[in-house]
Amino acid sequence: MASYYDIDDIIMEDELISTVFQIGANGVGMLDPGAERNCVEQGAKVELPFWLAHELHLRQAVAVTVPPCFNQKTRKEIQADAACVDLKSRCSYFYELGCKVAPLIGDRTIGSFLLYAFTGRYKEVLSKAHSAAFIMAPKFLTLLTKEETRLYEAARSSMTAFKKWRVGGPRFERASILRKRKPTD
């Protein structure tokens, strides 16, 4: 349960997934904006947050459809040029959601697709992080998912630490008192 208190995990599970109810459910009319009475009909298409869809799927109450960020259109865009696709607007928890959704919809290709997208974008992330200019490429930052942004920040901070070290001179400065070593015996 290491991720029970993890804020990113909780926010990620709030992403909406479109599902089709296999059963009717009473008293939960608020889930479906098109419901007339206070219940959800069987066969109704409802957008549920991921945590709810996951639990109901385990109880065989809903059928989960592919989220829009993994559909054919996105796949084609990523195959064309992975680095320029704006993943943040589609789904800022792209990778985590993909990992969790894959067993629900039984799609084996999601794993390799995620890997392909990540390797293509990672090259860009690294090269942009190590280049010199400072508030550079803010446009690029808006395309990155949360995970990639964290990687980018980490690379940035290590680059600044490195630069500081280079400018700062030798790491161990021996104190002046050490210059004259006292004679032994």
Residues that bind another protein (CB under 8 A): 4-8, 10-11, 14, 23-28, 30-31, 39, 49, 51-52, 55-56, 59, 61, 172-175, 178, 181-182, 184-185
Structure tokens at 9: 């995990």
Question: CA-to-CA distance for 36 and 130, rounded, in angstroms?
Answer: 56
Q: What contacts 155, CB < 8 A, 6 or more positions away?
A: 125, 126, 129, 130
Name the residue nearer to another protein (CB basis): 93 or 113.
93
CB of 10 to another protein, least distance (A): 6
Name the residue nearer to another protein (CB basis): 124 or 148.
148
Q: 108-133 burial string, b = 16+ CB within 10 Å, else e?
A: eebeebbeebbebbeebbeebbeeee
The amino acid present at 103, given as its one-letter code, is P
Name the residue nearer to another protein (CB basis): 51 or 118.
51
| Neighbouring C-beta atoms of residue 93, cutoff 10 Å | 23
Cα distances from 62 to residues 5, 23, 52, 58, 181, in angstroms, run 27, 7, 10, 9, 78
CB of 50 within 8 A of CB of 17?
yes
CB of 56 to another protein, least distance (A): 8
CB of 109 to another protein, least distance (A): 30
CB of 149 to another protein, least distance (A): 12
CB of 125 to another protein, least distance (A): 20
CB of 54 to another protein, least distance (A): 10
Name the residue nearer to another protein (CB basis): 36 or 173.
173
Angle between helices 72-80 and 109-130 (to 10 degrees): 40
Name the residue nearer to another protein (CB basis): 138 or 170.
170
Name the residue nearer to another protein (CB basis): 32 or 124.
32
